[in-house]
Amino acid sequence: MIVSIGLLLLGFVFLIKGADVMVEDSSSIAKKLKVSDLVIGLTIVAFGTSAPELVVGVISAVNGNTDIAIGNVLGSTIANTLLILGVASIIHPLQVHKNTVWKEIPFSLLAVVLLAIMANDSLIDGLSFSSLTRADGLSLLAFFAIFLYYTFGIAKESPGEMEPEEEIVERSLPVSLGMIVLGIGALVLGGNWVVTNAVSIATTLGMSESLVGFTIVAVGTSLPELVTSAVAASKGNTDIAIGNVIGSNIFNVFWILGVTSLIAPLPFDPSANMDIIVAVLATLALFLDLFVGKRHQLERWQGAIFVVAYVVYIGGLIIRG
């Protein structure tokens, strides 16, 4: 048990560090090839911050631990909205850009609603089972392509606002390629450790795989977003703090579940509908809160309510088992 916990934590370290190394050195290569900072930020950096969730989802699907795959995405979405945005807005009130309020937040709400529709075959079509099929995966990826198209459109309209926050470090090509290989290796190894040991802990404690996915794995794979948003909020970069979270939520459903369900259809436990409802309500609460008090701003007291709501949600998960 102690060994499993240690390897789980080490797996998170490998996942996060592997993603960080891969992003940094991929960006270095792109810079050498004269790719703009803007394109690097929209592609490599965006995909890199979602790499831990993607790797965990893919390995879970390959190993047949589908409850962890879906639980990780839904749990990360809820943690991103309630915990991470709550903490970030407590650090510094988050002023939200008009585009984010009227386009990106509704798009993230659409993602969760579509997931609810696609995953509930037994409820909607009267089938004997529910699952995210490969056809559902292709549909999710099509929506993801639409989101990327929209994002690049925004970039062309306001390129200055979309620049990466930090300066890109340039290294020699052989060093960067070597570091990318190491980063990918760390991601795969860390992902294997997280999934294997999460299942082991669940079995030992009599917990369900989905509960571990919704809690331990979800929070662990959301650590890059938590650190990024907290640091951005402390520096007053509120667009980055909230954009990072909303973008991650969209990536989680459309990209990660899309890819994962293409690898293997993901059986859906109807009990997870409660978590989908929480994800929908959390996203809806975020949208509505931006019109309460100071317009288009998530204030400290609202952030505190979000964090308390997340603690209550986790308590409910534990009671539910």
DSSP 204-222: HHT--HHHHIIIIIHHHHT
Structure tokens at 104: 């990106």
Exposure b/e, 132-161, CB count within 10 A at least 16 = b: beeebbebbbebbeebbeebeebbeeeeee
In this prediction, residue 35 carries a pLDDT of 66
More confident residue, 286 or 18: 286
In percent, how much of the chain has pLDDT > 70? Answer: 91
Q: How far apart are CA 13 and CA 111, in angstroms?
A: 29
Q: Which of 61-65, 71-75, 204-208 has the highest mean pLDDT?
A: 71-75
DSSP conformational letter for 47: H
Query: Which is higher by pLDDT, 269 or 47?
Result: 269
In angstroms, the CA 225 to CA 231 distance is: 10
Residue 85's pLDDT is what? 93
Of residues 165 and 190, the one with the higher pLDDT is: 190
Contact in structure between 273 and 120 (CB atoms under 8 Å): yes
Q: What percent of the chain has pLDDT over 90?
A: 35
**For residue 132, what are the β-bridge partners?**
266
Residue 277 phi, psi (nearest 5): -60, -40
Output the CA torsion sign for 63, 120, 286, 320. negative
E strand or H helix that includes residue 258? helix 258-263
According to the model, what pLDDT value does residue 131 have?
A: 92
> Which is higher by pLDDT, 107 or 153?
107
Contact 96, 246 (CB under 8 A): no
Domain residues for the domain of 311 are: 2-320
**Mean pLDDT lowest for which of 44-48, 93-97, 217-221, 226-230?**
44-48
Confidence tier at 3 by pLDDT (50, 70, 90) = confident
Dihedral, CA of residue 232, residue 233, residue 234 and residue 236, to nearest 10: 90
- List pLDDT tens digits, range 41-63: 556 766 777 788 888 888 888 88
Read off the pLDDT of each residue in 89-110 and give the average, rounded to a whole number.
88
For residue 249, what is the domain's CATH number? 1.20.1420.30
Q: Is 39 helix (H, G, I), strand (E, B) or coil?
A: helix
Instruction: Quote the number of domains for the chain.
Output: 1
Pairing mode, strands 94-95 and 266-267: unpaired
Mean pLDDT to the nearest integer, 156-171: 58
Among 291, 281, 286, residue whose Cα is nearest residue 313: 281
User: What are 19-49's pLDDT values in tens digits?
Assistant: 888 778 877 877 777 766 555 655 676 677 7
Contact present, 217 and 56 (Cβ < 8 Å): yes
Using CA atoms, how far residue 238 sits from 100, 173, 199, 294, in Å, is 12, 34, 37, 15
Which pLDDT score is estimated for 169? 66
Work out the mean pLDDT of the chain and round it to a whole number.
Answer: 85
Which range among 72-81, 165-174, 192-201 shows the weakest confidence by mean pLDDT?
Answer: 165-174
Examine the pLDDT at 165 and tell me if it is beyond 60.
Answer: no
**Do residues 214 and 60 touch, judged by C-beta distance below 8 A?**
no
Q: Cα separation of 145 and 141, whole Å?
A: 6
* Global confidence as pTM: 0.85
Residue 224 has pLDDT above 90, yes or no: no
